[in-house]
Amino acid sequence: MEAAIEPFDVIVAGKGNAALCAALAARDSGARVAMLEAAPVDESGGNSRFAGGVMRFAYDSVEDLKRLCDIPENEAGNADWESNTTEQFYDDLYRVTSYRTDPELSEILVTRSLDAMVWLRSQGVRFSPNYRHQSAVVDGKRRFFGRMPMWITGGGPGLVQDLTDAAARKGIEIFYDTRAVSLIYDEERVLGLKARRQGKPVDFQARAVVLACGGFEANPEWRARYLGPGWELAKVRGTRFNMGDGLKMALDIGACPYGNWSGRHAVSWERYAPEFGDLSLPESSYRHSYPMSLMVNAEGRRFVDEGVEFYNYTYAKYGGEVLKQPAQFAYQVFDAKVKHLLRPEYGDKRVTRIVANTLEELAEKLEGVDPEGFLNTVRAFNAAVRTDIPFNHSIKDGRCTVGIEPPKSNWANPLDTPPFEAYAVTCGITFTFGGLRVEPQSGQVLDVNLRPIPGLYTAGEMLGGLFYFNYPAGTGLVSGAVFGRIAGTAAAEAAKTLTQSR
Ligand SMILES: Cc1cc2nc3c(=O)[nH]c(=O)nc-3n(C[C@H](O)[C@H](O)[C@H](O)COP(=O)(O)OP(=O)(O)OC[C@H]3O[C@@H](n4cnc5c(N)ncnc54)[C@H](O)[C@@H]3O)c2cc1C
């Protein structure tokens, strides 16, 4: 056992976005704060560091966006910035979660989202307009689509770096290579964490603890247990450190599980990607351009409506559809007409791409796919496209198919212009939806009798009840910021009250 470490007011387990927001909010409330990060420095930052960095928050117009970064007048006036009003944000969140999202949590998320972004900026996080994705110049005017016109400069790595710099400026102590293993709990309140620091046991005493140490996405045994058979075979898009430890230690002292424990965010992902995310090439395995494709499985059959919505409302559930296919893979097939619309990573070196000049040649080259099944699918698909409806990738254009199952509802194009390109994908899991139940206004964890557990708070992926079945893109980081801030502030207040009462 290492020498005892002086007690802290607040200890935060984790060092991703939610943890950093909690730690900064607690520090700003006057608490002495420490963070325990399971990963060594070079792998620290959790899934937040792997994130693309797009943010979904409520805004009425470009005037709200100007609170996050300087947008010159000519740029502000010459673009259609859309809006994501609180009503639109609610509608999206409720629709994609099949109306299961917790009303109180989702209200807090939506109504405090812009304020949380402004707060992030005040902590040193830099924002810029999201010109890279889901924006295009149409008839001389830039147009954003998908209700996420801003991203964090530098993406997830930029976010984690900016917040880490803020933590250092404010004197928050970070213990790396320190995995929290259990809560110190006297049957009345949480008094700290037992951890393993560089492999050795060490106790951290605290007046309040915030658990923000991610879901169980990196744990194949838990995935098979809670998500179902086959999920142990998914690739992990992000960190290898989120093993469900925080959930386990909270459940062990009687915390109440909440939310969609068999649910998860999982996408189409490079078939031969490494087992976990790679920080040196964070986006190279993304395959988000499938709404422009025809997706087929090993039998050569289509299995989803690729174009039912913009990708940011379907990508998080379609990974699970790929996992259900024979041998857990699919191909996204494009022709030359839409090649220029593919995201840049499709041109990356580490991509499984097959190119052919005829459909017959492509059918022979698609490894593991029934060639006749594939050709039949393409013939039926090509004949079903409503080519009388104009194609426009920047709106839901209604250019659909008729008479085939599943239909394609938008952006349908006959595959007829060589060269043809096919990209092999499998399922990549992002994070899990099952979490803990909290008192929404404070983030304090509730026990199985729905009584608050003194001294215990949570945020981020560990918060249950927000996401069910599916997820609107850009909401994970916003959730971590909103609820991390709430949990950190409440934990600092609890620590203060405890100090005063002793
Ligand atoms: C490839 C990818 C792209 C994404 N893109 C976006 C995007 O553009 N926009 C968006 O909103 N969301 C995105 N997400 C989702 C988003 O990253 C997550 O929802 C969010 O980062 C979760 O934050 P968190 O702080 O809860 O968890 P994490 O950031 O994963 O942090 C968890 C932390 O806990 C640590 N930890 C784990 N176990 C322990 C333990 N026992 N003790 C101590 N520490 C522990 C981990 O090392 C890590 O530091 C993306 C995710 C991935 C993987």
Q: Is 477 in the pocket of ligand 1 (CB under 6 A)?
A: yes
Instruction: For ligand 1, say whether the CB of 409 is within 6 Å of any of its atoms.
Output: no
pLDDT value of position 26 = 98
Atom 48 in ligand 1: residue holding the nearest Cα: 46
Is residue 130 in contact with ligand 1, taking CB distance under 6 Å?
A: no
Cβ distance 242 to 218 under 8 Å? yes
pLDDT for res 203: 97
- Per residue in 76-120, pLDDT tens? 988 999 999 999 999 999 999 999 999 999 999 999 999 999 999
From the list 44, 46, 1, the residue with the least C-alpha distance to 484 is 46
Q: How far, rounded to the nearest angstrom, does the alpha carbon of residue 163 sit from its chain's CA centroid?
A: 18
Residue 461 Cβ < 6 Å to ligand 1:
yes
Ligand 1: does its nearest atom lie under 6 Å from the Cβ of 47? Answer: yes
DSSP reduced 3-state for 471: coil
Is the CB of 36 inside a 6 Å radius of any atom of ligand 1? yes
Residue of 235, 477, 485 with the most ligand 1 atoms within 8 Å of its CB, for mutation: 477
Q: Give, using CA atoms, the residue closest to atom 35 of ligand 1.
A: 14
Beta carbons of 438 and 257 less than 8 angstroms apart? no
User: 440: closest CA among 9, 102, 118?
Assistant: 102
Nearest atom, ligand 1, residue 213 CA: 34
pLDDT, position 299: 98
Nearest CA to ligand 1 atom 14: 51
Atom of ligand 1 nearest to the CA of 239: 30
In this predicted structure, what is the pLDDT of residue 138? Answer: 83
Predicted pLDDT at 47: 98
Distance 61 CA to ligand 1 centre (A): 29
Q: Which residues of the chain have pLDDT under 50?
A: none
By C-alpha distance, which of 372, 351, 348, 350 is closest to 362? 372
- pLDDT tens per residue across span 318-374: 999 999 999 999 999 999 999 999 999 999 988 999 999 999 999 999 999 999 999
Report the mean per-residue pLDDT for the chain. 96
